[in-house]
Amino acid sequence: MDLNFFKKIRILDSGMGQELLARGLISKGTLWSATSLIDEKYYQLVIDTHLSSINAGAEVILTNTFTTRRVRMEQNQVRDKFHFVNQKACELAIKAKELSKKNILIAGSLPAQNDTYEVDKREKNIIEKDFFDQASIIDPYIDFFYLDVISSGREVEIALNVIKEFKKPVLIGLHIKKNGKLPSNETITEVVKKYKNDRWLGVITACVSLEIIENTLNELKKLNIPFGFKANLWGVEEPLPVHRFNDAKFNEVGKNPNVTLGKRDEITDKIFGEFAKKIINNGATILGGCCETNSSHIKELSKLK
């Protein structure tokens, strides 16, 4: 893969989990989008959701592996399906690419390995094993790794050390709070300067509000690295980790996150596109959507190329 890929404007896909729910997925426990990989009846739904982003103009799709991390599998008593669901997610992404007949790239979503939006404070060897086991399954199917919604420099470092043996490029997705810092209280600049290596494709603010994206621009454009965003449209500026609002047991229907976090219906696809244009004018080249975005938002982004 060309390490300069993101030096030009590139379009990432929209959010997967919330879009699957909007299209009819019934999530169990805290599995969220991983439910669609355990139950075969949802496979076509996953493929169609990938295809909707591709057909809207996405040049990169992410594997549906955000909630197939080991912790979620264990919480929901399906640890034995860990390898199966991670591999299946990759197979469905490849199937969507084949059906599209388009030369898109597949990024391996390698998420924070404990909960989302908060620092993983577990022992290093535990985090390391979790990253490695997931990365080793998805590696054969992907063009590059995407560190998906990471909350600390320590987690970035551990993940980078794990994936270096796979010799693939990596896009870094950092979660940022209202104060402009990671949940670890580190700045984006500190993380980039400390951990950047020659396999980095760029850095993006991951699953953050439009306001936070805009507030980080001055810092990002000084880093001399391709940058951009995967924006969420949650109704709150700082979303909560899943354990704070979903207590569904493994055999119960899980709560849709947007019931608790809300969603910004006022951000139409047109408004989303206008916002992205402003961010491009500030030097961003990596554009995409996260939770509560869909293919209509990606279509507006694709018009900006």
φ/ψ (deg, to 5) at 229: -155, 160
pLDDT of residue 246: 82
Name the percent of the chain lying above pLDDT 90. 95
Digit-coded pLDDT (tens) for 43-63: 999 999 999 999 999 999 999
pTM of the model: 0.97
Question: Are 305 and 63 within 8 A, CB to CB?
Answer: no
Question: pLDDT band at 111, cuts 50/70/90?
Answer: very high
> How many CA atoms lie less than 13 Å away from 280 in the CB half-sphere?
21
Transcribe 184-226 into DSSP letters: TS--HHHHHHHH--TTEEEEEEEEE-HHHHHHTHHHHTTSSS-
pLDDT of residue 134: 98
* Rg over CA atoms, the chain: 17
Stretch 166-179: mean pLDDT: 98
Digit-coded pLDDT (tens) for 256-300: 999 999 999 999 999 999 999 999 999 999 999 999 999 999 999
Enter the tokens of residue 112.
């924070």
pLDDT of residue 242: 86
φ/ψ (deg, to 5) at 262: 75, 175
Q: Which helix (H) or strand (E) holds 108?
A: strand 105-111
Question: pLDDT band at 217, cuts 50/70/90?
Answer: very high
Cα angle: 194, vertex 172, 84; to 5 degrees: 125
Each residue of 108-135: b (16+ CB within 10 Å) or e? bbbbbbbbbbbbbeeeeeebbebbbbbb
CA distance 191 to 129: 22
> What total of structural domains would you count in the chain?
1
CA distance 259 to 42: 22
- Across the chain, mean pLDDT equals 97
Digit-coded pLDDT (tens) for 181-206: 999 999 999 999 999 999 999 999 99
CA distance 268 to 301: 12
| Containing structural domain, residue 73 | 5-302
Digit-coded pLDDT (tens) for 223-244: 999 999 999 999 999 998 888 8
Would the pLDDT of 117 be above 90? yes
pLDDT of residue 250: 87
3-state secondary structure of 260: helix
Stretch 238-255: mean pLDDT: 86
Would the pLDDT of 245 be above 80? no
Nearest to 151 by CA among 193, 196, 185, 192: 185
108 Rama class: left (phi>0) / alpha (psi -120 to 50) / beta: beta
Stretch 1-24: mean pLDDT: 97
pLDDT of residue 248: 83
Give the CATH number of the domain where residue 226 resides: 3.20.20.330
